[in-house]
Amino acid sequence: MNMFLLSVIAFFFAIGVLVAIHEWGHYIVARMSGVKVLRFSIGFGKPLWLRRSGPDQTEYCLAAIPLGGYVKLLDEREGDVSPDEVHRTFNRAPISSRIAILLAGPFMNFIFAILAYWLMYSVGVPGLQPIVGAIEPTTIAGEAGLQKQDRIMVVGDQRVSTWEGAVLAILDEMLDSEQIRMEVQRIDGSQANVSMNVAGKVNELTEPGRLFTGLGLQPWAPDFEPVIGEVLADGSAAAAGLRAGDRVLLADDLPLATWAEWVEFIRANPGKDVMLTIERDGRNTDMTLLIGELTAEDGSIIGRIGAGPEVADGFYDQYLSRQQYPVFEALRAGVDRTWAMSMLTVKMVSRIVTGDVSVKNISGPINIAQAAGYSASIGLSSFLNFLAVVSLSLGILNLLPIPILDGGQVVYQILEAIKGGPLSMRVQLIGQQVGIVLLIIVMGFAFYNDLSRVFS
């Protein structure tokens, strides 16, 4: 499937599901609290589809702008209410009920994340073991004594078994102390402790795609020869006539000694026709290859041909780490992962506010769509991970004490309980205006970052 189309489909599916889950939380707790629900909407603006149902004739609709949703509750502050329904208004509900209704949306996002991680760990999560590759000697990693083919065992106090887990633990450790403490296993089997000092460099290192280059290390990759192994039927390698066993000698007259050099050449030339010289059955042959295109996770366009290296049977087994658990253990792993990701997200958000973490981490719909398509193209586990992360982000975002978000409305209810009466309409209006300005600023950063990634 075309990557753009896949990104669009995956994005709207993800947003539709996560918004529906969030709003269903508000909806179901409002009904349980006796508050009348007037409308349940996925999207904003003009309804494209609308149906009335139930004893209250609640409107269920899909609207034209699919970037959110809302549940409209009966409220005296938004219009006249008949005397026989006053007891069912949101503003007359007990403060505890109002807070429960407001928190139910973000709560459902956390529940969904647990379920997504649960399913992900039940299906199984493939990953590479955290083995260090090339080290630049004059960088943070090199000066700390990290060595090529060190296997990262522990980061801070967290034991890790995959590169993804190691990266999350590194970020967590970096945000906590500006020191990255590691326990590694050397290639000879000995143990070593390594500490990388990142004081004053957290902002730079938290820019998307800068962690490894900033630290001066790379994940380990085998030094395969440039010999074609698997060829995907729908890739540009197959279309050009490349076969398993072909050795790539030259690409546009550039000699290739390793598979890594071949991959680097492919990634750097998306959409280009290139001349290849290959060795096949002992004879050299020239051919033309049109390199395909792929949108990477960071939004950049890279080359892709749909071919892998020739690998001996069982080679990868010693470097892969598959996280797959029985049902109940998978649930516990899902809860643990949800907690860890929530805490990391809260730290990232708070450090963005203080300026310690790069604002380039704020993503808008373009980057989210690209990530949705990329994760969906990899497989179910990757897409479930994406859904869980976005769901957590949506839940945490809505808990921020900004007046037009759920968290801000909860603050209003708490102040009302302390004051003994509702805040004046003037105070609430000022709060709404401040909230709108803050959201516009955040969205401005998000769209700027999206467009910078696209056009950089």
Q: Phi first, then psi: give them for residue 366, nearest 5 degrees.
A: -65, -50
Residue of 309, 449, 445, 268 whose CA lies nearest to 371: 449
351 contact partners, CB below 8 Å, separation of at least 6: 175, 202, 206, 357
Instruction: Answer for the pair 178, 199: CB distance below 8 angstroms, yes or no.
Output: yes
45 contact partners, CB below 8 Å, separation of at least 6: 63, 64, 65
Strands of 220-322, DSSP E: 228-231, 247-251, 254-255, 273-280, 283-290, 292-295, 301-304, 307-309
Collapsed DSSP state (helix, strand, coil) of residue 130: coil
Starting at the earlier edge strand, list the strands of the sheet with 254-255: 254-255, 247-251, 273-280, 283-290
Rounded to whole angstroms, the Cα distance separating 378 from 118 reads: 19
For the question of residue 178 being annotated catalytic, the response is no
Total residue length of the chain: 456
- Where helices occur in 305-405 by DSSP H, the ranges are 327-354, 365-378, 380-399
Collapsed DSSP state (helix, strand, coil) of residue 403: coil
Rounded to whole angstroms, the Cα distance separating 66 from 20 reads: 11
Would you give the DSSP letter of residue 422?
A: P
Give long-range contacts, CB 8 A cutoff, 24+ apart: 356-359. 356/175, 356/202, 356/203, 357/175, 357/202, 357/203, 357/206, 358/203, 358/204, 358/206, 358/207, 358/208, 359/445, 359/449
Residue of 48, 32, 50 whose CA lies nearest to 40: 50
97 contact partners, CB below 8 Å, separation of at least 6: 33, 34, 35
Catalytic residues: 23
